[in-house]
Amino acid sequence: MGTIVGTRLVLDGDQERVLSVPDGSNLAVLGAPGTGKTTVLVELIADRVTHRGYETDEVLVIAADRRAATRLRDVLAARVAVPTSGPLARALTSFAFSIVVSGNAAAGLPAPRLLTGGEQDVIIADLLSGDDEDGRSGDWPAHLDADVRRLPGFRGELRELMARAVESHVSPQLLSELGDRRMRPAWRAAGRFIEEYHEVVDSFRDQFYDSTELIHRATEIVESAGVDGTGLGAFSRLRLLAVDDAEELSAAGAELLRAFSRRGVAIVVAGDPDVASGGFRGASPDVVGRLPQILDAPAGSVVLGTGYRGTRELAAVYERIVSKVGTAAAGAQRRVDRPDRSDDASVLVSTPSSVAEQVSIVARELRERHVFGRVPWHDMAVVVRSRSQIAAIERGLAGLEVPTRVLAGGTALRDDPSVRAFVLAGRIALGECALDATAAVDLLTSVLGGFDRVELRRLRAALRQREADLEGNRSADELLVDAMQVPGSLTDLDTRTGRKAQSLADNLRAAAASAVGSASVEELLWGLWERSRLERPLVDASKGSGLAAEEADRVLDAIVALFAAARRAVERSPGDAPARFLDHLMESDLPEDTLAPRAAASAVVITTPAGTVDRDFDTVVVCGLQENGWPNMRQRGTLLSSGALADAAAGIDPTPADARTIVLHDELRLLARTVSRARNKLVVSAVSGEDASPSPFLPLFPPPTDGLVERHPLSLRGLTARLRRDLIVALERSEHAAAERAAVSLARLVHAGVDGASPDDWSGLLAPSTDAPLVDADEIVRVSPSRVQAFRTCGLHWLIDELGGSTSTVASGLGTLLHEVAETTESSDAADIWAAMATRWKELPFEADWQAGVEELKGKDLARRLAAYVTAFEARGGRVVGKEVAFEVPIALDEASAQTVADARADARPALAVLRGSIDRVEILSDGTVDIVDLKTGKHEATSDAGVVDNPQLGAYQLAFHDGAVPDVDGRDGAGAKLVVLSGTAKTKPFYEPRQAAFTSEEADAFRLSIARTAIEMSGAEFLAHVSTHCLDPFSFGRCRIHVIPEVTS
């Protein structure tokens, strides 16, 4: 098509026909993607200004959206190359807004304000909530109850119905009447609601319009303007109005064109109904084909028949897709001649078995195009069907070192982690949200706190150590909350983590003070940002490259968008409480519109089909072509039937089959648009696995290709890992030349500042910091009965737990709670046991409300099982002489040391161990013997006597009894020890009682010796990892696994 510069392009015959159309004539330009529709509109404007004497304020081009208008404006400015009084290209909403500004000014009315989707959602949510609270929600049908009306999806459909009503000239009263006539009670209720909505919006200080209302108002102004154009301002002299991508034009936009046509303005539209992407927004793909009817005036037609984009294979795929689509009053544009072009494997289809593999393949293909094809990152795009898929793809590609950017409007503000952190901090400052342990952790690990998980663990450990020094017994969670709430509670922790936590706590307290001082939400959020001192480090990081720079860019973009949304909220409703804005922000799933500049670094675009309007790319990836995803055959507006409103207003009765066909054709058009954006390469990916199936659209593409993932890494991280591995392997094999090549290459990467290339960054190269034993020779080895089995199973796992690497879970917390209740409660009634548990239920670390509900059922089941055991025990005539009975058994290590040859330093070992623990229940049976009981709530406990023969915990309890360390049982014989298994594994009865037979004196001495040997091993400097039987066993859930997996270099 040539390059648009200051001189006139050489156009093909069809394009010349567009330029030769007489002044004042309306024209529809039909053309498939790549036939030069935008180019010919630019040349048409340039021809009118340069050769036909038009002034620049007599011509204007309407683009599909603001981004497209910006690009087209720059192209037109360079092409026309004369001063202009305003932009030569505008988005339809911008065009309408300027008209309304002029019209209102001429009428003495205030300037209009545009309601963004997010702002309109806030107003609608408020009204719906107010109706429910006031008991005025009786008009809605039963299936649209209060719970449904609180859903963001319902509000979205309500906004869509409101837009369709404006486009169809359906007033609230008429909508209610249509609801009665068509037996749609939801329309009747919506009519009343819309009437209330208008009353509220009209009461605002400024005149607010949503985008559809704005266009409708602009149309009224154009229709009522005098012959001299009074009220049209800069557009009063308009002679030519061109529309690019006219298939995206809504019904309201078409009416605005008709209004200008009736004023004698020539209308020229260019488009292709086969690639319309705005059907879900009410766009009419038949605008180009039905231009005479829409304008109610004669209009010519030109079909552009020569294609300049894509390869023959790409063209064949596109043609197969559009052949399944209705023509929408057109169809001639599908016959396209394409000049001969090279056609080397331009379409690649992949069916990976998982989403992770899909992202890996996509990243590989993008890097290959960038490295081998010299294609800039920004000239490639990944297109997904739904906006909800964008975040996962963005994270996956970023993790594989593919720079990405999401086009404006890609995600809702509430989905951004940095925005959620600011909202959480704001709600805590306002008193709307409690600063509990979960909130404290969320804030500390957010952008506001800057903690990673290791730093958080260090802070917890420091707080616990301080508490222990003060002989306190509060949990780490309680200490964390206290540190965030109590001024000065962190001043004695003069460490980096302590100072960071103190800074966050000070920021929160200052925010709370400003909230008390009636700060607006904008002031509240800005204060949090300013005091965090994040601006400089984030700006500095964004100037670099790699993942850190991309993350900094993303955070800055999100924060700027948050401030812009807060500022608009304050301007719209100055008296609103800040909490109202924060609550609605977290409820709304709508992206916030923002004029904030986005990161300019070259990056792969991630978007939906609608986001590709006016764009083409060297390489396009269609990602996630899945069954039930693309096509999405769910009919739009099913709750409120917004799609049926226009037909109802026109007296048309569509059939369900018609509605499904419309949806299918819309889905095919979205796919056709996506495919048509590729100039040279198209990659299609559809997961085919146990949980996902490819789309029925997949057969429209060539058969899948195997072996898409090559061995050679095409990322710095992958290259670094390969070179490190090559170096280590070469050294192990004494291949000195290969080792030198790898080392030289790594040195070049080190010089370039590549992470991980320097040996200083490699794990496992430093000598051990100490080879001293865990317990010194003059210390006592302390052995816990409950930890002996863990040590014997895997010494490495035991050591990690011993050094603070363990983490509590809801399951372990539930078991601990039951043990404590069993100790303090005397009742054998399940209701009493559960009541005691319920009083401490909030102490458990639930991550979500649904989890609390599930665990409550488990808790009640455990209470029932414990009650059943206690009842059965009492019925057998037994009595309890102690609960949580503490004991200590000293064990000399001399004999065990002499028998242990694993370490030559036997003389440097401790001489004494202490077996210390507590027994859940010490019972006297009806025959007078002593029974030792250990309550168990875990899933994997033994349930038979054979399973506990060698149980070291029961053995430890028996040894304590044998040695007289258990009080109140002197002179009695032992009955042995048993587990009482209360967990759900006991299917056929409430509990199991696997028993370990009573120890003889010989068995007690043998067990004592085994504990002594275990104590010696626990006190040493080396610990055995049972790699095959534990560490790498996927069902062991050990924390040792990460420590035995070889490095990438091994």
pLDDT tens digits for range 208-261: 788 888 888 899 899 888 777 778 888 888 999 999 988 888 888 889 999 999
Instruction: Quote the CA–CA distance of 423 and 579 in Å, as a whole number.
Output: 9
Strand partners, 241: 60, 267
Architecture of domain 347-411+601-700: 3-Layer(aba) Sandwich (3.40)
Q: What is the band of 574 on the pLDDT scale with cuts at 50, 70, 90? A: low
Q: What is the pLDDT of residue 282?
A: 64
Token pair for residue 993? 């009682």
**Statement: residue 498 has pLDDT above 80:** yes
Q: What is the pLDDT of residue 636?
A: 64
**In the chain, what percentage of residues exceed pLDDT 90?**
22
Work out whether strand 207-209 and strand 27-31 pair parallel, antiparallel, or are unpaired: unpaired
Q: What is the pLDDT of residue 928?
A: 92
Range from 123-137, 326-340, 511-525, 797-811 that averages highest in pLDDT:
511-525
**Is 979 in contact with 786 (CB distance < 8 Å)?**
no
What's the Cα-to-Cα distance from 368 to each of 230, 376, 511, rounded to whole Å? 58, 11, 49
**DSSP summary character for residue 1046:** P
What's the Cα-to-Cα distance from 156 to each of 86, 103, 120, 406, rounded to whole Å? 35, 30, 10, 22
Q: What is the pLDDT of residue 963?
A: 92
Q: What is the pLDDT of residue 922?
A: 95
Instruction: Quote the CA–CA distance of 308 and 638 in Å, as a whole number.
Output: 41
Torsion of CA 654, 660, 666, 670, to 10 degrees: 170
Mean per-residue pLDDT, 739-746? 91
Q: Does 347-411+601-700 match 13-110+215-334 at the fold level? A: yes
Instruction: Quote the CA–CA distance of 540 and 1001 in Å, as a whole number.
Output: 73
**Statement: residue 590 has pLDDT above 70:** no
Question: Is 35 one of the annotated binding-site residues?
Answer: yes
Which range (280-289, 427-436, 957-966) has the least confidence? Answer: 280-289
Identify which has the larger pLDDT, 263 or 575: 263
**Which pLDDT tens digit goes with each residue over 1006-1027?**
999 999 999 999 988 888 888 8
Identify which has the larger pLDDT, 734 or 468: 734
Question: Is 651 one of the annotated binding-site residues?
Answer: no
Q: What is the pLDDT of residue 236?
A: 87
What's the Cα-to-Cα distance from 323 to each of 326, 677, 719, 901, rounded to whole Å? 8, 18, 45, 82
Instruction: Quote the CA–CA distance of 222 and 103 in Å, as a whole number.
Output: 9
Mean per-residue pLDDT, 441-467? 83
- In this structure, the number of other CB atoms found within 10 A of the CB of residue 875 comes to 9
Q: What is the band of 870 on the pLDDT scale with cuts at 50, 70, 90? A: very high
What's the Cα-to-Cα distance from 372 to each of 368, 369, 404, rounded to whole Å? 6, 6, 19
Mean per-residue pLDDT, 541-554? 70
The strand ranges marked E within 518-634 are 604-607, 617-623
Q: What is the pLDDT of residue 622?
A: 94
Q: What is the band of 597 on the pLDDT scale with cuts at 50, 70, 90? A: very low
Q: What is the pLDDT of residue 86?
A: 82
Residue 88: which of 116, 112, 54, 51 has the closest Cα?
A: 54
**Is 712 in contact with 689 (CB distance < 8 Å)?**
no
Work out whether strand 347-350 and strand 380-383 pair parallel, antiparallel, or are unpaired: unpaired
Question: Is 37 one of the annotated binding-site residues?
Answer: yes
Phi, psi of 998 (to 5 degrees): -60, 140
Strand partners, 777: none
**Statement: residue 508 has pLDDT above 50:** yes
Question: Is 38 one of the annotated binding-site residues?
Answer: yes
The pTM score is: 0.66
Question: Is 33 one of the annotated binding-site residues?
Answer: yes
Residues recorded for the chain: 1050
Token pair for residue 841? 């239920």
* pLDDT mean across residues, the chain: 83
Token pair for residue 524? 């509240």
Identify which has the larger pLDDT, 963 or 66: 963
* Helix, strand, or coil (residue 356): helix
**Where does residue 84 rank: exposed (0-12), middle (13-18), buried (19+ CB within 10 A)?**
middle
Torsion of CA 536, 537, 539, 540, to 10 degrees: 110
Phi, psi of 967 (to 5 degrees): -75, 160
The strand ranges marked E within 765-834 are 781-783
Instruction: Quote the CA–CA distance of 11 and 167 in Å, as a whole number.
Output: 38
Q: What is the band of 657 on the pLDDT scale with cuts at 50, 70, 90? A: low
Range from 577-586, 660-669, 885-894 that averages highest in pLDDT:
885-894
Architecture of domain 13-110+215-334: 3-Layer(aba) Sandwich (3.40)
The strand ranges marked E within 759-808 are 781-783
The strand ranges marked E within 562-714 are 604-607, 617-623, 678-685
Amino acid (one-letter) located at 1012: A
Instruction: Quote the CA–CA distance of 974 and 977 in Å, as a whole number.
Output: 8
Instruction: Quote the CA–CA distance of 301 and 52 in Å, as a whole number.
Output: 21
Instruction: Quote the CA–CA distance of 269 and 524 in Å, as a whole number.
Output: 48
Q: What is the band of 712 on the pLDDT scale with cuts at 50, 70, 90? A: low
Domains of the chain, residue spans: 13-110+215-334, 116-209, 347-411+601-700, 413-587, 716-761, 781-804+878-1031
Mean per-residue pLDDT, 973-1002? 88
Q: What is the band of 906 on the pLDDT scale with cuts at 50, 70, 90? A: low
Q: What is the pLDDT of residue 42?
A: 92
Mean per-residue pLDDT, 963-981? 91
Instruction: Quote the CA–CA distance of 612 and 624 in Å, as a whole number.
Output: 17
Strand partners, 879: 924
* Helix, strand, or coil (residue 865): helix
**Statement: residue 790 has pLDDT above 60:** yes
**Is 686 in contact with 624 (CB distance < 8 Å)?**
yes
Task: Give 8-52 as a DSSP string.
Answer: PP---HHHHHHHTSPTT--EEEEE-TTS-HHHHHHHHHHHHHHTS
- In this structure, the number of other CB atoms found within 10 A of the CB of residue 945 comes to 14
CA angle 536, 542, 546 (to 5 degrees): 140
**Which pLDDT tens digit goes with each residue over 748-761?**
988 887 878 888 87
Q: What is the band of 4 on the pLDDT scale with cuts at 50, 70, 90? A: very low
Architecture of domain 413-587: Orthogonal Bundle (1.10)
- In this structure, the number of other CB atoms found within 10 A of the CB of residue 786 comes to 12
Secondary-structure breakdown of the chain: helix, strand, coil percentages, each rounded to the nearest 5: 50, 10, 35
**Statement: residue 901 has pLDDT above 50:** no
Token pair for residue 106? 């001429």
